[in-house]
Structure 1
């Protein structure tokens, strides 16, 4: 069996019973279950949710995106072997630690397969919050040009690239296009301030103003839990993205939860500790893949310049990357997942068939 056969690149064509269109993102696909199947599973499995809560099957893939494009490799390798399982394993690990330490629950109710989550529908908070512990990436580029204010927070002069910040910074941005918020442009991923959130908390889907403080506490505590665990492995948690939403439990109590993924190489930067102390940054996250792409193509401006998006799409579509590049990324994802979870990431021989069999036999979701 070739490596390409062990990569799950297409994940929106599974025969899961649904009455709605499958929502397929860059990496995950979401299948909303029928009302009857949702109610049946809640009763059979004893999930702590309202009896009529809508449930979905979320299937991860091995696809890899960077610079807003999906990339592929030679020999029909349309993804990175082991990437999907590594991402889910890492998220599962952090979500479990959060619960054990009394932070908050996640949207995940069940994990039938390394590629699959059963989730409950949440009402999302319309904010993507980045927690930053070091100055690097886009923040460093703005700082180097003279920027000193980030999302309403002033940071001091004299910082150097990749230096640890004086304190953990929360730099929120809009999730999706929000309309009618004074001073906030109607565009996706626009930086906002805490004052923006406080003045318009309902527009950002907060239930009440007090939840802003709770959300910030969950951000900081979640970051600290992951950062501390990584430090024990001599790895540095540089920055990460968090997303939140509201759900109701079986008793009807509405609660704020973590959603999407947390602390993964796709949503975070992780650096190797020993290398950093030697003055060298070694990425243990998707940033490594971005750097590989920038070095691989002769004109990196295509990848960095948003005005050249059509050229960039053509670049991704017309260029099959060497297998060695995708395998290097595979090694990074699998090794950091194994380090974090203490368990081996096993490549499935036929992940799609495994998922179908489990969802048919154990959950009754495939006809």
Structure 2
């Protein structure tokens, strides 16, 4: 999509929804509506979060995230079931209501990251035991780990907390059986995602998965999967060369956007954050769209139908 069109779309980003439905829960990016009949309506907005706060809004981001997830949900049904029912609009998803398991299953293949709890930040501070995994000495930032690992975090209101598998069970977050099932499925999903990404010239670096329990007791994949919000992607063809000279990989996710804030402020403590320029916002939108097109093999065409009327009509379709 042309850069100027993305810049022109910035004032029209979808930053909030007010559908004529009860029981709305606004999250960092998604507005969730409980329809009261065993279904949830999840509307993915263009809100951009990071460092546990809002960083702005990105044109067409919501549509890209939702459609990317729909693609991956369909492609991974052979690994684990998911909550998807249908999508009445590119921003919206009708899903089965589940009891959310309160752990995020973060799977990592590389030593990287910029947040306070990221594996690289902790490693640089001298940490060698991370979420129950022993890390070897002498590793460099962005280097491949010896194997993919699950580094779970709690889902808490204030700040997610890294946690070990043993602590998850001991503190009552999940049963041992639930942990074994979900962690195995998370690793299988990630391995599949890495394989497909590699076929499209990408490296799936890390990601997070969330699971929930349906009314029938089945554990399902929920929320999102392998989106540029929940995942880190690098371009494969330049990775080795850039790693060798100590350069950051060519990123096709939101990490460069977070780094822009990191370089200009303390995004955890400063009361007022700098305003990103339109070019930076458009660049992130462009990368989101590029990733969608690389993964799905289809051109991104915005859904310009009115959100409210289309979604309400789609609830009974």
Decide: shared fold, TM above 0.5. yes
* Counterparts of 1:151 and 1:69, CA distance in 2: 24
Asked whether 1:123 is paired with 2:99, we answer yes
Any residues of structure 2 matched to 1:295-314 within 5 Å, and which? 295=263, 297=264, 300=265, 302-303=266-267, 306=268, 308-309=269-270, 311=271, 314=272
Any residues of structure 2 matched to 1:1-367 within 5 Å, and which? 2-4=8-10, 6-11=12-17, 13-15=18-20, 17-18=21-22, 20=23, 22-33=24-35, 35=36, 38=37, 54-72=38-56, 79-99=57-77, 102-137=78-113, 138-176=118-156, 188-200=159-171, 203-206=172-175, 209-248=176-215, 253-279=216-242, 280=247, 281-295=249-263, 297=264, 300=265, 302-303=266-267, 306=268, 308-309=269-270, 311=271, 314-315=272-273, 319=275, 321-349=276-304, 353=306, 355-364=307-316
Larger Rg: 1
CA-to-partner distance for each residue in 1:119-175, whole Å, 9 max, x for gaps?
A: 122111111121110001231222122211011221111211111011111111211
* Counterparts of 2:41 and 2:91, CA distance in 1: 10
Give the CA deviation at 1:205.
Answer: 4.0
Greater fraction helix: 1
* Counterparts of 1:145 and 1:357, CA distance in 2: 51
SS in 1 for 2:227: coil
Give the CA deviation at 1:84.
Answer: 0.8
* Counterparts of 1:358 and 1:196, CA distance in 2: 45
Query: Of the two structures, which has the highest relative contact order with CA contacts closer than 8 Å and spacing of 6 or more?
Result: 1
Distance verdict in 2 for CA 1:143–1:348, change over 3 Å: same
Contact 1:238 1:268 in 2 (8 A): yes
- How many residues are matched? 302
Distance verdict in 2 for CA 1:98–1:84, change over 3 Å: same
Give the CA deviation at 1:188.
Answer: 4.1
Contact 2:154 2:163 in 1 (8 A): yes
Contact 2:61 2:288 in 1 (8 A): yes
* Counterparts of 2:294 and 2:152, CA distance in 1: 29
Worse overlay, 188-197 or 222-231: 188-197
* Counterparts of 1:272 and 1:231, CA distance in 2: 9
Give the CA deviation at 1:356.
Answer: 2.3
Contact 1:124 1:205 in 2 (8 A): no
Contact 2:105 2:183 in 1 (8 A): no
Contact 1:82 1:346 in 2 (8 A): no
Contact 1:6 1:347 in 2 (8 A): no
CA-to-partner distance for each residue in 1:205-234, whole Å, 9 max, x for gaps?
A: 44xx32322112101100011110001111
Give the CA deviation at 1:86.
Answer: 0.9
Give the CA deviation at 1:262.
Answer: 1.2
Contact 2:203 2:234 in 1 (8 A): yes
Give structure 1 stretches of 5+ with no counterpart. 39-53, 73-78, 178-186
